[in-house]
């Protein structure tokens, strides 16, 4: 992969090395960092952000203007789009904004997300549906709107933000976990269906101190200590890896994978594959399953855990 141009000189290092036009949920946090890094690499950016709180409620702020000013200060080009990802017509308008503004679209970063945290046995259907609409249907709508353009030009990159809450587990996030794990399935399907068109699709689980992470309750000294550790996670550290996946070299080398980025650490997550098998020529009965299969498989069982049970070391 060619080296990105130095900061402040947003010029493509070679033809077609970096994407020209990218659409994001990019007003703050991780999305902002990726938008700025892509702009430094020469991409023209659609800054898509509707200015809502982590719960999805309007907060009266337009963060896209600030990001556009930052991109223009680097010498780059950017436009704002305040359409929601959570409906098919508005998602189409996000992609149309890129094509109308810059003539094409080369990469989509599905970064928009909201939280409605509540224990499963207390969760209302509305809380479930709202999170699914933004965090799973939204990536489908935006990606599907971009897909014909990618197919026609025989190139394109999809980057979807999943979460270790889904890959591992978390309390009170059945809606968020369902959406973010569903996003892994969506990305895998895209990678299979569109690889023939030179299109890649990958997921990143970002570790970053963002407004969404700040909603985590701190009701004990242990929780306060954990949040203090999370404050070390800079959202801008996600950006170089995300931009690498957009390049021609990234598209050629990587698709259908799930990564994690945690400050200076990068992870490759395993994908679901069989870890044990048993066979009987006579067929199984319920009692035989209890007597033979469960005891044989149990050493391979992974008990329900939360992300913080796995990532116990300090970020570096």
Q: Residue 261: how many CB atoms within 10 A of its CB? A: 22
Q: Which residues pair with 22 in a beta bridge?
A: 45, 107
**Cα-flanking dihedrals φ and ψ of residue 279, to 5°?**
-140, 145
Which residues, at least 6 apart from 307, have a Cβ–Cβ distance to it below 8 Å? 164, 165, 167, 168, 169, 170
Domains and CATH numbers, the chain: 21-268 (3.40.50.720)
pTM assigned to the model: 0.86
Are the C-beta atoms of residues 207 and 264 closer than 8 Å to each other?
no
Average pLDDT over residues 138-148: 98
Q: How far is 173 from 202, CA to CA, in rounded Å?
A: 23
Report whether pLDDT(253) > 50. Answer: yes
Helices 88-102 and 138-153, axial angle in degrees (round to 10): 40
Burial class of residue 121 in the structure, from the number of CB atoms within 10 Å of its CB (0-12 exposed, 13-18 middle, 19+ buried): exposed
Q: Which residue has the higher pLDDT, 159 or 51?
A: 159
Q: What is the DSSP string of 265-300?
A: EEEE------------TT---HHHIIIIIHHHHGGG
Secondary structure element (H or E) that encloses residue 256, with its range: none
Residues identified as active-site: 176
pLDDT score for 13: 34
**pLDDT tens-digit profile of 265-312?**
999 999 999 999 999 999 999 999 999 999 999 999 999 999 888 988
| Range of weakest confidence among 101-110, 149-158, 222-231 | 222-231
């Amino acid at each position: 992969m060619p080296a990105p141009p130095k900061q402040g000189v947003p010029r493509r290092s070679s033809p077609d090395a970096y994407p020209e036009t990218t659409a994001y949920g990019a007003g703050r946090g991780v999305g902002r960092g990726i938008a700025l890094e892509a702009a430094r690499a020469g991409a023209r950016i659609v800054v898509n952000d509707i200015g809502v709180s982590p719960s999805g409620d309007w907060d009266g702020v337009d963060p896209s203007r600030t990001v556009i000013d930052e991109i223009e200060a680097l010498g780059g080009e950017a436009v704002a789009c305040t359409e929601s990802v959570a409906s098919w017509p508005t998602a189409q308008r996000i992609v149309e904004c890129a094509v109308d503004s810059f003539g094409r679209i080369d990469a989509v970063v599905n970064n928009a997300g909201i939280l409605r945290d509540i224990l499963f046995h207390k969760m209302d259907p509305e809380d479930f549906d709202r999170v699914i609409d933004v965090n799973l249907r939204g990536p489908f709508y935006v990606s599907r709107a971009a897909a014909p353009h990618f197919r026609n030009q025989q190139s394109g990159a999809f980057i979807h933000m999943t979460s270790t809450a889904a890959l591992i587990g978390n309390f009170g996030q059945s809606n968020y976990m369902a959406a973010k794990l569903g996003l892994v399935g969506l990305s895998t399907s895209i990678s299979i269906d569109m690889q023939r068109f030179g299109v890649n699709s990958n997921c990143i689980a970002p570790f970053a101190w963002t407004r969404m992470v700040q909603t985590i309750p701190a009701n004990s000294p242990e929780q306060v200590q954990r949040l203090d550790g999370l404050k070390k996670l800079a959202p801008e550290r996600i950006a170089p890896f995300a931009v690498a996946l957009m390049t021609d070299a990234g598209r050629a080398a990587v698709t259908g994978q799930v990564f994690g980025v945690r400050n200076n650490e990068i992870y490759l997550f395993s994908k679901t594959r069989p870890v044990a098998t048993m066979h009987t020529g006579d067929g199984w009965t319920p009692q035989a399953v209890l007597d033979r299969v469960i005891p044989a498989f149990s050493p391979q069982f992974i008990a329900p855990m939360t992300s913080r049970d796995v990532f116990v070391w300090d970020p570096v």
